[in-house]
Amino acid sequence: MADDNKPLKYLRYAVGEIALVVIGILIAFSLNNWNDNRKDRAKEKVILQKLKSEYVSNLKQLNQKISMRKDAAESSIWLLKRFDLDDFNKRRDSIDYHIARTLFFPTYDPNTGITDELINTGNIYIINNDSIKTFLANWSASVIDLKQDENTYETFVSIIYTPFLIEHYQFRNIVNEMRNNEDLNNKYKTSFTKVDIKRRNKFNYNNQKIEDNQDFEDYFALIIDYCKNHNDMAYDMHNSITDLLNIIDRELANK
């Protein structure tokens, strides 16, 4: 009877050994996965911190561009009111300043180093939050759309609007305003070398009366439209970045 039980004992022993090996493999696999996941979470924290820094900078620059377009639109509205109120001669000293503000064409050039690296290397998988991954995947397209519109406005200012001003207005004084006005230099971070080129003798503006040229009104109206449309896109991007930063902050708080 004892010999008859030996095969059963061996079988039980073998099954036990196999079970121990399997359990050992599963534990080792689980520990390996846990270790890999721990490393990924550590990497994710660093990535999120870098993304936060990148998009805080991008949001700051975006707000600056929004402000510049608001200035151009507000100055264009101010200039149009001069037509409506017929008081150009009373506001002559301010006209150069407001026209100067319509000549800046802001272009958004965000930092994309961390975003590009994540997408190009495939390391975006390390990020757990789907909303962050979706934002990063769509970010490039959003920037391209805005830049295309900005390029259109830059072409308008450079190729159409500026030559018109040179032909129909005293552009020399506008350039002087752009170079020497502290508000413009501080607001737009320009680095113009100051040089006073303003015309001081009495210039006969009647030969080029801005108030009698309806094309000025059309150009100012176009600038308002351009700036409003571009800022509508920029505000959407502003809201998206703000949402992203809020999500990143919540994710970091849980790390």
Give residue-wise pLDDT tens across range 194-249. Answer: 455 455 444 545 444 677 788 999 999 999 999 999 999 999 999 999 999 999 99
Mean pLDDT, the chain, whole residue set: 84
Q: Give the residue extent of every domain in the chain.
A: 2-253
What pLDDT digit, counting tens, does each position of 108-120 carry?
A: 999 999 999 999 9
In this predicted model, what pLDDT tens digit does every residue of 126-142 receive, in sequence order? 999 999 999 999 999 99
Which token pair is 201? 């003798």
Q: What is the DSSP string of 161-174?
A: IHHHHHHHS-HHHH
Contacts 24+ apart (CB under 8 A), 235-242: 235/66, 236/142, 237/62, 237/142, 237/143, 237/146, 238/59, 238/62, 238/63, 238/66, 240/135, 240/142, 241/55, 241/58, 241/59, 241/62, 242/59
Does residue 189 register a pLDDT over 70? no
* The pLDDT value given to residue 227: 96
Look at residue 56 in the predicted model and tell me its pLDDT.
Answer: 98
pLDDT at 177 over 50: yes
- pLDDT at position 201: 47
The DSSP 8-state label assigned to residue 160 in this structure reads: I
CA angle centred on 216, ends 105 and 152, rounded to 5°: 30
Under DSSP, is residue 33 helix (H, G, I), strand (E, B) or coil?
helix
Sign of the dihedral through C-alpha 229, 234, 235, 240: positive
pLDDT at 64: 93
What are the tens digits of pLDDT across the range 216-229?
A: 999 999 999 999 99
pLDDT tens track for 44-69? 999 999 999 999 999 999 999 999 99
Residue 196: exposure state from Cβ atoms within 10 A (0-12, 13-18, ≥19): exposed
